[in-house]
Structure formats: C-alpha cells, structure tokens
C-alpha cells in the first residue's frame, strides 16, 4: 500500500491511544529494531478482535515493548487476563513499565523466558493466541500451544508475508527466519483442524480458528 492510501486509512480509523503514541516514541528512541513494533492499524485490529470474541484468557508470544499487549488488554472484560511472554529481559522490562503504569495493569501477566518452556508450565486454556515471537520457531509455538486453545478459539500469527520473502525460493532455502515462516504457512495451509484466513495487513496476519 502506498503512503497516501495508508494515511487515508489512518484518517478514517480510530485515533491511536496516547499511551501507545508515547510508547512508540520511546521505542524508536531507546530500543533496537523499532520496526518490530506493532503499528496503529494492527493495534486497532487486535482491539477489534478482542472486542468481538471477548476472550477470557489470551496468550501473546513475543511482548517486545508492549504495544500489542496494551492493545489486547484495552478491550478485555473484567476478570479476563493476558499472559504475554518475552525472552529478552531488557525489552520485557521496558514493556512491564508501561503495563504497570497503564489502566490495564491488572489484566496483564508478563512472563520472561523461553516461550515453549513457559507455555508448558501454564495450566490454562486460551481463547485467543497472538504469535509474534521468533519466526524460526513458529511451527514449534503452534504445536506447543494448539492443545491449549479452546475449540472455537483463535490463533493470530504475525509477519506471515515476511516482507514478501515467502515468494523468494532463495531466501526460503538460505534464511532461517524466512524458512520458518514458509514452513509454518504451509503447515497451516494443510491443517484440517482449523479454518484459516491470511490477511495482507502490514507484514501479513494469519487468522486461524480451531474447529
């Protein structure tokens, strides 16, 4: 999408929350790879999904600086909880600061460490999972979390177009991240236990519903 159309879409969407504007500024000033930050349109999409399905328990794999976590928590109902996992302790501390100072603090439980290990220790089922961790491990995340997703629940996987590299055979063969995303996409394509819809939102978002 060209910049003019992107601006048009933003102008006709709800405004970004002030806490998210502040978080974005500080991420670009203080954190490596700020491009990994969820953007305004994706954040609104997450808010809408939560408002529509009203999940009681949500799992996020890949907190980064907390933008998507705050978007998810915004529309969680009272008594609902987001469990969010980040392996980088410095980035996790950045996000936790925003979580603590937000009005959604009681709805967010932050975990630091390897996602697969932490998921295996969580004695919960989830109604919504947002995957945005290490792209090499998407297949591993999916297999680890699938049995913990309620029937009728949703998994959202981010970056499934990977800058268009999923169409580049050389990249798939020689780059571990691209290979991981490609293998994940093909696995979901052939998984008859789910319904799936790939959306060209930002870097690609795969919406998966467990039948």
Given the DSSP bridges, would you call strands 194-199 and 205-210 parallel, antiparallel or unpaired? antiparallel
**pTM, whole model, 2 decimals?**
0.94
Output the six-digit token pair for 55: 């999940």
- Find out whether 71 and 44 touch, Cβ atoms under 8 Å: yes
Q: What is the mean pLDDT of the chain?
A: 94
Position 182 scores a pLDDT of: 96
51-110: pLDDT as tens digits? 999 999 999 999 999 999 999 999 999 999 999 999 999 999 999 999 999 999 999 999
Q: Is the model's pLDDT at 1 over the cut of 80?
A: no
Beta-carbon contacts of 57 under 8 Å, excluding residues fewer than 6 positions away, are: 80, 81, 83, 124, 125, 126, 127, 128
What span, in angstroms and rounded, lies between the C-alpha atoms of 160 and 175? Answer: 15
**pLDDT tops 90 at residue 10:** no
- Between CA 184 and CA 139 the distance in angstroms is 5
Q: Which domains does the chain have, with CATH numbers?
A: 3-210 (3.40.50.150)
Average pLDDT over residues 164-168: 93
């Amino acid at each position: 999408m060209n910049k003019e159309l992107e601006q048009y879409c933003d102008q006709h969407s709800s405004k970004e929350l002030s806490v998210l504007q502040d978080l974005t500024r500080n991420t670009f000033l203080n954190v490596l790879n700020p491009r990994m930050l969820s953007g305004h349109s994706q954040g609104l999409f997450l808010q809408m999904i939560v408002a529509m399905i009203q999940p009681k328990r949500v799992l996020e794999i890949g907190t980064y600086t907390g933008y998507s976590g705050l978007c998810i928590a915004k529309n969680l109902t009272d008594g609902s909880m987001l469990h969010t996992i980040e392996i980088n302790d410095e980035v996790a501390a950045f996000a936790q600061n925003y979580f603590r100072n937000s009005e959604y603090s009681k709805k967010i439980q932050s975990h630091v460490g390897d996602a697969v290990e932490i998921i295996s220790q969580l004695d919960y089922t989830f109604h919504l999972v947002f995957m945005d961790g290490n792209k090499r491990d998407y297949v591993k995340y999916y297999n680890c979390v699938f049995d913990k997703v309620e029937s009728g629940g949703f998994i959202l996987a981010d970056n499934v177009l990977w800058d268009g590299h999923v169409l580049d055979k050389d990249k798939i063969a020689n780059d571990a991240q691209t290979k991981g995303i490609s293998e994940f996409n093909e696995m979901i394509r052939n998984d008859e236990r789910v319904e799936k819809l790939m959306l060209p939102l930002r870097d690609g978002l795969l919406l998966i519903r467990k039948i």
